[in-house]
């Protein structure tokens, strides 16, 4: 039977145990490889300060490597008697190697151990999220260039306003993702600081070499102040949640646009029949269920920062057990957002564009501003040109020229696709 890391010779009531452990054993499987990685760095450091012999270090590293391989092969599990991933790793080492397995916890607390695991996990998750965002960005840029000459209505107040284009629409979402990427980079930077050695939040009387573990784990820097290191629990997760919520806001807004654009009243785009769903009583229906589910999931993901903020509100300095519940919120969300981004890329790859939208007479008024500007460019004062076109509209005499000549940076005729790509690359380079 597993012995708890905090065992002092008494058993906790089973109801209390089950309630406080919750889903930790299930969720901690996401942290397994990072826990082993953190332990390897920690014991290498312990050997340099004399708390392990070179022989003990070699034995422990071999034991941890075996566990790492079991995790990689999908053979590792957290036994019911173990509270968490930390307990399970130490249990296996002790069971297989004897008393030397009990030495890996010197100079550590579960508090800084889980902090290291989470920071390594978040660092990887932010990298993977960035790659998924980049994939969608590339798709949007490709579609922007492909359809740059196809005009579509632009709206303000959901009223027909001015000409836009599919190139402009796709490109807008591409560039917006760059702002979201900046938040991903920020969350990555916050996670990329080493808390190991802060122990329970107040340091250790062992002569730990925290700089060494920082180097071994590839962190950019230390959380120097040990209390500040513990205070980063929650802050790191909230930073990641804010980045994820920003990405979700962009994708959710795009999904809403596409739900509108697919309706018969708009008719801007459509999907192949096999990517839509039907109705149980209306035989004509071809519903954009994927985009509706995408919109709903993205709305839910946007609640992440608020949910975490409420969990952490008014907590005094130091560790508190409810911080474990942040894993319940964050871990499933990381998977859901990546799946959503992959689905968005797939659906956009199959989107079909209506290239004749703008020919419909109901969009005649899109061109009033173009005609006002054309008069102004010919020398007519702008206010007189505005009044002239306005009166034509009022009298029902307006006939659009239906031509667009936008040349400035970022406009219909000058999308700046390459400049936007370079901007994305500069931001992503910060994750290298």
64 with 116, same domain: the answer is: no
Measured CA distances, 394 to 162, 358, 365, 390, 399 (Å):
18, 22, 11, 6, 12
Question: 34 and 116 in contact (C-beta within 8 Å)?
Answer: yes
> Which pLDDT value is given to residue 289?
94
Question: 32 and 87 in contact (C-beta within 8 Å)?
Answer: no
For the record, the structure tokens of 54 come out as: 């070179």
Q: What is the DSSP letter of 277?
A: B
Q: Is 326 a member of any domain?
A: yes
Q: Which of 319, 326, 306, 313 is nearest to 231 (CA)?
A: 319
> Which pLDDT value is given to residue 278?
81
> Which pLDDT value is given to residue 186?
98
CB atoms within 10 A of CB 98: 10
Domain of 376?
Answer: 361-394
Query: 279 catalytic, yes or no?
Result: yes
> Which pLDDT value is given to residue 12?
62
Domain boundary among 87, 106, 125: 106
Question: 193 and 220 in contact (C-beta within 8 Å)?
Answer: yes
Q: Is 399 a member of any domain?
A: no
37 with 127, same domain: the answer is: no
> Which pLDDT value is given to residue 414?
95
Q: Which of 64, 257, 282 is nearest to 164 (CA)?
A: 257
For the chain, the domain total comes to 3
115 with 93, same domain: the answer is: no
Q: Is 401 a member of any domain?
A: no
182 with 287, same domain: the answer is: yes
Q: Is 131 a member of any domain?
A: yes
Q: Which of 157, 205, 280, 378 is catalytic?
A: 157
266 with 123, same domain: the answer is: yes
Residue 155: give its domain's CATH number.
Answer: 1.20.200.10
Backbone torsion region of residue 321, taken as left when φ is above 0, otherwise alpha when ψ lies between -120 and 50, otherwise beta: alpha
Q: Which of 172, 270, 216 is nearest to 38 (CA)?
A: 216
Residue 38: give its domain's CATH number.
Answer: 1.10.275.10
> Which pLDDT value is given to residue 321?
83
CB atoms within 10 A of CB 71: 19
Q: Is 73 a member of any domain?
A: yes
310 with 383, same domain: the answer is: no
254 with 136, same domain: the answer is: yes
Q: Is 402 a member of any domain?
A: no
> Which pLDDT value is given to residue 9?
52
> Which pLDDT value is given to residue 20?
61
366 with 353, same domain: the answer is: no
Backbone torsion region of residue 22, taken as left when φ is above 0, otherwise alpha when ψ lies between -120 and 50, otherwise beta: left
For the record, the structure tokens of 202 come out as: 């107040």
Render the burial of 221-254: b for 16+ CB within 10 Å, e for the rest: ebbeebebbbbbbbebbbbbbbbbbbbbbbbbeb
SS3 161: strand
Q: Is 218 a member of any domain?
A: no
* CA–CA separation, 93 and 59 (whole Å): 10
Question: 225 and 278 in contact (C-beta within 8 Å)?
Answer: no
342 with 384, same domain: the answer is: no
373 with 274, same domain: the answer is: no
> Which pLDDT value is given to residue 401?
87
41 with 188, same domain: the answer is: no
> Which pLDDT value is given to residue 282?
84
Q: Is 171 a member of any domain?
A: yes
For the record, the structure tokens of 223 come out as: 């959380």
Domain boundary among 106, 124, 157: 106
* CA–CA separation, 63 and 43 (whole Å): 12
Question: 163 and 140 in contact (C-beta within 8 Å)?
Answer: no
> Which pLDDT value is given to residue 1?
45
254 with 177, same domain: the answer is: yes
Domain boundary among 75, 106, 137: 106
Q: Which of 87, 144, 205, 279 is catalytic?
A: 279
Q: Mean pLDDT for each consecutive 10-residue tract of the chain (432 residues)?
A: 50 66 79 97 98 97 97 93 88 96 93 96 97 98 97 94 96 98 98 96 95 98 96 95 98 97 94 86 86 96 95 88 90 96 98 95 93 94 95 94 91 96 97 82
């Amino acid at each position: 039977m597993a012995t708890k890391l905090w065992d002092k010779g008494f058993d906790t009531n089973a109801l209390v145990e089950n309630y406080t452990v919750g889903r930790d054993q299930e969720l901690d499987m996401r942290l397994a490889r990072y826990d082993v990685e953190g332990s390897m760095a920690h014991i290498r450091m312990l050997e340099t300060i004399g708390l392990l012999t070179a022989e003990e270090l070699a034995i422990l590293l071999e034991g941890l490597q075996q566990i790492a391989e079991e995790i990689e092969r999908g053979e590792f599990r957290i036994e019911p008697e173990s509270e968490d991933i930390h307990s399970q790793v130490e249990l296996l080492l002790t069971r297989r190697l004897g008393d030397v397995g009990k030495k890996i916890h010197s100079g550590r607390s579960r508090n800084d151990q889980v902090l290291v695991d989470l920071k390594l996990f978040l660092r990887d998750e932010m990298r993977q999220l960035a790659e998924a965002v980049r994939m969608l960005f590339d798709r949007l840029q490709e579609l922007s260039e492909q359809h740059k000459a196809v005009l579509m209505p632009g709206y303000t107040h959901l009223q027909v306003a001015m000409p836009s284009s599919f190139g402009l629409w796709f490109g807008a979402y591409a560039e917006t993702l760059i702002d979201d990427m900046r938040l991903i980079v920020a969350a990555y930077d916050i996670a990329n600081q080493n808390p190991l050695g802060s122990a329970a939040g107040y340091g250790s009387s062992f002569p730990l070499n925290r700089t060494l573990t920082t180097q071994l784990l590839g962190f950019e820097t230390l959380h120097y102040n040990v209390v500040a290191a513990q205070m980063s629990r929650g802050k790191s997760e909230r930073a990641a949640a804010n980045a994820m919520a920003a990405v979700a806001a962009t994708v959710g807004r795009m999904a809403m646009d596409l739900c509108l654009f697919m309706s018969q009243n708009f008719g801007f785009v459509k999907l192949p029949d096999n990517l839509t769903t039907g109705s149980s009583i209306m035989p004509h229906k071809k519903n954009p269920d994927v985009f509706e589910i995408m919109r709903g999931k993205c709305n839910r993901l946007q609640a992440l920062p608020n949910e975490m903020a409420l969990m952490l509100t008014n907590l005094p300095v130091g560790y508190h057990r409810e911080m474990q519940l942040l894993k319940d919120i964050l871990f499933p969300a990381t998977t859901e957002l990546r799946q959503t981004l992959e689905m968005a890329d797939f659906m956009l790859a199959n989107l079909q564009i209506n290239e004749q939208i703008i020919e419909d007479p109901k969009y005649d008024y899109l061109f009033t501003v173009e005609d006002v500007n054309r008069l102004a460019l010919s020398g007519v004062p702008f206010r007189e040109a505005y009044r002239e076109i306005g009166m034509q509209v009022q009298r029902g005499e307006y006939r659009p020229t239906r031509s667009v000549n936008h040349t400035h940076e970022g406009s219909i005729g000058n999308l700046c696709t390459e400049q936007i790509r370079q901007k994305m690359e500069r931001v992503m380079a910060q994750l290298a």
